[in-house]
């Protein structure tokens, strides 16, 4: 529907504007860190780092995800958004854009150099937190629109299983809704009153815990739309079939259940949480790996069966049958490929003893540049090459396709240099989030410098990749008129029927709530009741 198309494009334009400004901040901060440049006009390293993180990790992703999911829900649930849903989409967009403008203005004027994780004891201007609150509330409003569209569809299609894309989109927003309750509580109850000076102290441990209650599912909020593309879109693009609708739904249900009660794996090195609760959440963390392994299995099955149908021979003959010259496949595929080492890094992080080696080092920065900034970002770029033409009634030309392939290669090369150097130097103990320093010419710190230079070189290649991507988006918006189909895959003919219980929303939401209550109730009560127990790590500032 042309009106829905406008909504989708509005979200995408803000997303790519954020990518551009965030990319500039990213380039500058990596050059400062390596000592290659000094910042003029009293600009600070932490200002740039915050702008980079907030714009890339929070604004680019959230706007892109909503635009993408709205497009697919409109397409698969009736071909058009209900008027009330479209209004929710626009209201959400307005709130999110206003919140982003306010938050970014605070960061760029040096009033909110609190990094993208923004928990206490670092304090920002209250207007930064108000901006964040608007962003989150806006995303809720958009999510409620999606829930309503599915509810309406179910009412008019009694007894039918919802389309896979819509199911996945709704579950992603359900997870987001539950996860953002933590950050909303942190911002509204703790950070805003404290930053306005209405209260003098803040419970730091509680603030960090509420943040990570949200912070880990946040990474699955980025990943799930990428999985939607891998499960539903990629089979159609290569000319194959979805391996199993039921398996895909089960993977998403497992992501809903296990992606939230695991925030403590970001706090393994904190003394204020008892080892038992950390242990429990690490076990749950290893559970959340299962749906990713299922996804890998399902993708290999789709690729292999597609190749064999076309006569591929031998164990890996199907590999050469894949459409390597099509950027709509190539970019997401590189994302999948890189997710293998990226996910392995996650397993290392999640293991308590190994976490003691890597925590707060550049290894972690390397990990998330492979996961969100490569696997997810490349998939989102790959989606852009068909999504913009589809909703604007245009076509992807061979020249744009070529530029897209070049962009993907640039991204992979830049990331190999940057993230590779981050992983290595992190293992030598180089801390994350520090401006240029040699720690008074300490020999260890001096030995890290060549890696920082590699990071800056990789960062520069990536910046060229950002510029090319923004150029490609502009070119797609002005591409020749024509028709591009929305690529929704179909399930294999011989796949088993999807069981109806996979759509028992009440059951899955209740199970998710139970797991969260088990993992968090006692530690949270402990933190609230003993806010000043300094020796246990509960600090009030």
Query: Does 121 sit behind a cis peptide bond, omega within 30 degrees of 0 on the bond before it?
Result: yes
Q: Is 265 in the site for ligand HAS (CB under 6 A)?
A: yes
Tell me how crowded residue 59 is: count the other CB atoms within 10 A of its CB.
Answer: 26
- Using CA atoms, how far residue 107 sits from 58, 186, 194, 456, in Å, is 14, 19, 18, 23
Candidate segments 16-24, 72-80, 125-133, 361-369, binder of ligand HAS by CB under 6 A: 361-369
C-beta separation of 134 from 183 below 8 A: no
In the shown chain, the binding pattern of residues 220 to 259 toward ligand HAS, with x for contact by CB under 6 A and - for none, equals --xx------------------------------------
Question: HSE (CB half, 13 Å, CA atoms) of 77?
Answer: 31
Of these, 20, 98, 185, 337, which contacts ligand HAS (CB under 6 A)?
A: 337
Q: Which of 148, 297, 432, 436 is catalytic?
A: 432
Q: Which helix (H) or strand (E) holds 365?
A: helix 362-370
Distance in Å, CB of 1 to ligand HAS, minimum: 31
Please identify the residue of the shown chain whose CB is closest to the bound ligand HAS.
343
Tell me how crowded residue 416 is: count the other CB atoms within 10 A of its CB.
Answer: 16
Decide if 208 is catalytic: no
Closest to 31 (Cα-Cα) out of 49, 58, 16? 49
Q: Is 350 in the site for ligand HAS (CB under 6 A)?
A: yes
Q: Which is nearer to ligand HAS, 86 or 491 (CB)?
A: 491
Structure tokens at 436: 């240029």
Q: Which of 416, 433, 436, 486 is catalytic?
A: 433
Triad 142, 144, 149: Cα angle to 5°? 100
Q: Is 340 in the site for ligand HAS (CB under 6 A)?
A: yes
Candidate segments 92-100, 123-131, 295-303, 491-499, binder of ligand HAS by CB under 6 A: 295-303
Distance in Å, CB of 443 to ligand HAS, minimum: 26
Candidate segments 121-129, 368-376, 396-404, 409-417, binder of ligand HAS by CB under 6 A: 368-376
Q: Is 364 in the site for ligand HAS (CB under 6 A)?
A: yes
Of these, 359, 405, 413, 540, which contacts ligand HAS (CB under 6 A)?
A: 359
Decide if 433 is catalytic: yes
Q: Is 367 in the site for ligand HAS (CB under 6 A)?
A: yes
Q: Which of 216, 249, 394, 423 is catalytic?
A: 216
Structure tokens at 79: 């071909």
Closest to 303 (Cα-Cα) out of 363, 362, 243, 355? 243
Q: Is 349 in the site for ligand HAS (CB under 6 A)?
A: yes
Closest to 274 (Cα-Cα) out of 209, 186, 204, 335? 209
Q: Which is nearer to ligand HAS, 149 or 355 (CB)?
A: 355
Decide if 367 is catalytic: yes
Triad 138, 143, 147: Cα angle to 5°? 150
Q: Which of 208, 367, 394, 423 is catalytic?
A: 367
**Cα distance between residue 494 and residue 245, in whole Å:** 11
Site size with ligand HAS, rule: CB under 6 A:
33
**Cα distance between residue 279 and residue 265, in whole Å:** 9
**Helix-helix angle 61-76:204-228, to 10 degrees:** 40
Give residues in contact with ligand HAS (CB under 6 A). 117, 219, 222-223, 265-266, 285, 288-289, 292-293, 295-296, 299-300, 319, 336-337, 339-340, 343, 346-347, 349-350, 355, 359, 364, 367-368, 371-372, 376
């Amino acid at each position: 529907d042309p009106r829905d198309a406008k909504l989708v494009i509005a979200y995408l334009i803000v997303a790519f504007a954020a990518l551009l400004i965030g990319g500039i901040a990213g380039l500058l901060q990596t050059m400062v860190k390596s000592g290659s440049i000094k910042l003029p006009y009293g600009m600070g390293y932490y200002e740039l780092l915050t702008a980079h993180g907030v714009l890339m990790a929070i604004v680019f992703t959230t706007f892109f995800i909503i635009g993408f999911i709205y497009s697919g829900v409109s397409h698969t649930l009736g071909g058009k958004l209900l008027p009330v849903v479209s209004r929710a989409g626009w209201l959400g967009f307005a709130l999110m854009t206003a919140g982003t403008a306010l938050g970014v203005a605070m960061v760029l004027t040096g009033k909110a150099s609190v990094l993208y994780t923004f928990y206490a004891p670092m304090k920002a201007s209250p207007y930064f937190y108000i901006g964040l609150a608007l962003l989150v509330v806006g995303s809720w409003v958009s999510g409620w629109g999606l829930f309503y569209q599915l509810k309406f569809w179910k009412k008019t299609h009694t007894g039918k299983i919802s389309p896979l894309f819509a199911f996945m989109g709704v579950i992603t927003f359900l997870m987001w809704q539950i996860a953002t309750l933590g950050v909303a509580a942190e911002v509204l109850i703790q950070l805003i009153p404290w930053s306005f000076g209405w209260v003098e102290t803040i419970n730091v441990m509680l603030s960090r815990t509420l943040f990570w209650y949200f912070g880990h599912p946040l990474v699955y909020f980025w990943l799930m739309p990428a999985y939607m593309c891998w499960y539903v879109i990629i089979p159609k693009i290569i000319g194959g079939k979805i391996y199993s609708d039921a398996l895909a739904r089960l993977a998403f249900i497992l992501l809903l259940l296990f992606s939230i009660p695991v925030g403590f794996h970001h706090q393994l090195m904190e003394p204020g949480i008892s080892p038992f609760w950390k242990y429990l959440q690490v076990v749950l963390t290893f559970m959340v790996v299962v749906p990713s392994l299922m996804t890998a299995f399902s993708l290999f099955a789709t690729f292999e069966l597609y190749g064999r149908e076309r006569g591929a021979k031998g164990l890996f003959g199907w590999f050469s049958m894949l459409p390597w010259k099509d950027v709509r496949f190539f970019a997401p595929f590189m994302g999948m490929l890189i997710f293998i080492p990226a996910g392995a890094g996650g397993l290392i992080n999640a293991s308590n003893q190994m976490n003691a080696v890597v925590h707060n080092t550049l290894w972690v920065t390397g990990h998330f540049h492979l996961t969100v900034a490569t696997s997810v970002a490349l998939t989102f770029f790959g989606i852009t090459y068909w999504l913009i033409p589809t909703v604007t009634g245009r076509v992807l030309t061979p020249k744009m396709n070529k530029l897209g392939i070049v962009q993907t290669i640039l991204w992979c090369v830049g990331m190999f240099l940057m993230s590779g150097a981050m992983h290595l130097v992190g293992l030598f103990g180089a801390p994350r989030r520090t401006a240029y320093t040699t720690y008074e010419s300490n020999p260890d710190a001096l030995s890290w410098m060549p890696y920082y230079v590699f990071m800056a070189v990789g960062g520069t290649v990536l910046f060229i990749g950002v510029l090319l991507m923004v150029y490609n988006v502009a070119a797609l918006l002005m591409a020749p008129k024509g028709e591009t189909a929305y690529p929704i895959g179909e399930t294999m003919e011989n796949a088993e029927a999807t069981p109806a219980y996979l759509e028992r929303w009440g059951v899955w939401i209740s199970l998710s709530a139970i797991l969260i209550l088990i993992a968090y109730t006692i530690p949270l009560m402990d933190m609230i009741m003993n806010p000043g127990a300094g020796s246990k790590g509960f600090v009030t500032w």
